[in-house]
């Protein structure tokens, strides 16, 4: 009964070329799913295809362009023969600076890529999931969307919007057997954080009750759980994966 097995399932993960998205795609791949991951370039898409080893493939999607998002969904349906069983909205960008210095294009780009593109993909998937009367939509939010952060007004607004959107969509599609949830990571160890000096990294991790940064696999585990039958009665929630840094 309590078994994680996605054999025969199709999973779409946006932003799967590295970091959290790659860890999520690999986790589903290892559990038997056919995975389609997106990257912003043909080179990135080819790298995804390579690590999936024929059990899915990489595709190009530019979240800044609505037409690219629409084409990506069409390509996935054509290759999979149906709508994905699981959608993971992960792709995102940052354009960090104080609001008084922020250019309109930097605000709009983050809102478009980190919120609007996810709304568009969710709408496309939900329409088909409703006919099938099953599906999972999981979006990668952020602790910043819950607490705010100076210099990230655009990013925080997009992530907070994603949380509110997911709660609302969850109520709209629950009667059709679809769950909609968010995972909100805190401080995650990435290629960027690996470049920090030891004392800088310690200053960050000392603020975390568990005294370590999250790994990409920590986030992937939460996503897999929410996509599984174990979480069939969980919808409209935000699962905080932050080591106790923020407790709601």
Positions annotated as catalytic residues are 155
Residue 153 in tokens: 């007004």
**CA separation for the pair 141, 63 (Å, rounded):** 16
Please state, in angstroms and rounded to a whole number, the distance separating the CA atoms of residues 91 and 15.
Answer: 4
Please provide residue 151's backbone torsions phi and psi, each rounded to the nearest 5 degrees: 90, 0
Query: What does the block give as tokens for 97?
Result: 């600076």
168, 161 Cβ separation under 8 angstroms? no
Question: What is the distance between the alpha carbons of residues 20 and 90, in angstroms, rounded to a whole number?
Answer: 8
Structure tokens at 205: 């991790």
Order the strands of the 178-185 sheet from edge to edge. 56-60, 34-39, 10-13, 86-89, 135-140, 178-185, 238-241
Place of tokens 């174990």: 230
* Burial (CB count within 10 angstroms: exposed 0-12, middle 13-18, buried 19+), residue 97: middle
Q: How far is CA 206 from CA 82, 202, 211, 243, in A?
A: 47, 6, 6, 11
């Amino acid at each position: 009964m309590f078994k994680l097995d996605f054999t025969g399932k199709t999973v779409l993960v946006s932003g799967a070329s590295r970091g959290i998205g790659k860890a999520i795609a690999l986790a589903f791949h290892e559990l038997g799913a056919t995975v389609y991951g997106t990257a912003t370039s043909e080179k990135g898409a080819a790298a995804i295809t390579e690590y999936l080893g024929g059990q899915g493939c990489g595709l190009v999607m530019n979240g800044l362009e609505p037409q690219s998002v629409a084409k990506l969904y069409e390509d996935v349906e054509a290759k999979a023969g149906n709508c994905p069983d699981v959608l993971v909205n992960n792709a995102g960008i940052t354009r960090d600076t104080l609001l008084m210095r922020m250019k309109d294009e930097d605000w709009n780009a983050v809102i478009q890529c980190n919120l609007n593109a996810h709304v568009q993909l969710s709408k496309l998937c939900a329409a088909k999931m409703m006919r099938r009367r099953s599906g999972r939509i999981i979006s990668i939010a952020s602790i910043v969307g819950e607490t705010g952060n100076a210099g990230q007004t655009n990013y925080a607004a997009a992530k907070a919007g994603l949380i509110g959107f997911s709660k609302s969509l969850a109520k709209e599609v629950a009667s059709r057997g679809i769950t909609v949830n968010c995972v909100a990571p805190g401080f995650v160890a990435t290629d960027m954080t690996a470049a920090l000096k030891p004392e800088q990294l310690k200053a960050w991790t000392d603020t975390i009750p568990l005294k370590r940064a999250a790994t990409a696999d920590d986030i992937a585990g939460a996503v897999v759980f929410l996509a599984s039958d174990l979480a069939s009665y969980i919808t409209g929630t935000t699962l905080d994966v932050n080591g106790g840094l923020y407790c709601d």
